[in-house]
Amino acid sequence: MTPQEFCARMPKVELHVHLEGSIRPETALKLAARNGVSLPADTVEGLREWCTFRDFPHFVEVYVAISQCIKTPDDLELIMREFLEGQKVQNVLHSEVTYTASTVEKYSGIAWEAQHAALLRAVRWGETELGVTSGLILDIVRGDPVERAMEVAEWASTSEGVLALGLAGEERLGTMPYAPAVALAAERGLPFVPHAGETTGPETIRECLALNPRRLGHGVRATEDPRLIMDLRNQGIPLEVCPTSNVALGVFPSLAEHPLPNLLDEGVMVTINSDDPPLFGTTLSDEFARCAEAFELDEDILYSLTMNAVNAALVSDARRVELRTAVREGFAELADEEEEDEEA
């Protein structure tokens, strides 16, 4: 069994993937045509070429343009169902999906209540029909007014199926202005999982640590500050690492220069994720396979990375036990197959 085959078949859990960034190119074109939205390209190949990112602002431009293709609750349900189908094919048992409800409301006019109902229908369908679980992380967009952030925190903390409050967008626009929204969510028992340490350095991670995050999206620039690495390790804060995304957006020049091995060597709790898979030409299976090849990660390390995601997931104790069992049994079955192949 090749490493690619092993990574495709092994059971997985994903903690950092954006719903809007997971829209298939074919679906984006279909929604654009149906809803009268103009995109810079009208073919799948053209969209992929357009998505060859120059920098983070260009990525935001692409992300917003694709989000503007969403015009109805049915569009949202379709996107979420297709996403879950893709996760099922990859043997992703559980996904925690970041979703920017405020941006969708801004461009589509769909109220949060209608968005939520459509997404919840898809989540329940995925669990019933596909046997995969999922939940939402509702994120605040850096640069939005604090009043808007408070509204998002209100939505997130009062809606079924929302697992956490996120914070995304251009990191240079700040973190601390949104502390009141984070505090509101925390008062209601909702965890905080911000993006930090991707397009800026350790200083943004430090800002987020002051707000007691449960996990950090990316966090890879922490390697620039040895003391910060020690703090992350000692506090047991998981990092949602997205290697292909980091390279595509120019955070690191190449996968070979990505600090994933350093983070592992330092004992930081790392999880592997795909971020915006169609936009970056990847999948979660691809992420594991590419890292396994680039950094010579053996199957024990792949198992450890997967268990990190299980242990960092925002699920019930009962579901965590189920996931641990499924991952353990899934890896054991693959090991048995490999042993049988060697004996044959």
What stretch of H or E contains 334? helix 317-343
Alpha-carbon distance 308 to 297, whole Å?
15
Alpha-carbon distance 285 to 85, whole Å?
14
Phi, psi (rounded to 5 degrees) for 19: -65, -50
Alpha-carbon distance 257 to 253, whole Å?
7
Kindly state the DSSP code that residue 176 receives in the 8-state scheme: G
287 catalytic? Reply is no
Q: CB within 8 A of 115, min separation 6: which ones? A: 73, 76, 101, 104, 105
Alpha-carbon distance 320 to 159, whole Å?
22
Tokens, residue 222: 């922490």
Distance (Å) of CA 261 to CA 234, 235, 300: 18, 20, 15
What stretch of H or E contains 80? helix 73-89
Catalytic residue among 77, 96, 151, 198: 198
Nearest Cα neighbor of 170 from 84, 273, 68, 59 is 59
Length of the chain: 344
Residue 174 near residue 146 (C-beta atoms within 8 A): no
Nearest Cα neighbor of 274 from 7, 79, 46 is 7
Tokens, residue 120: 């919840």
Catalytically annotated residues: 198
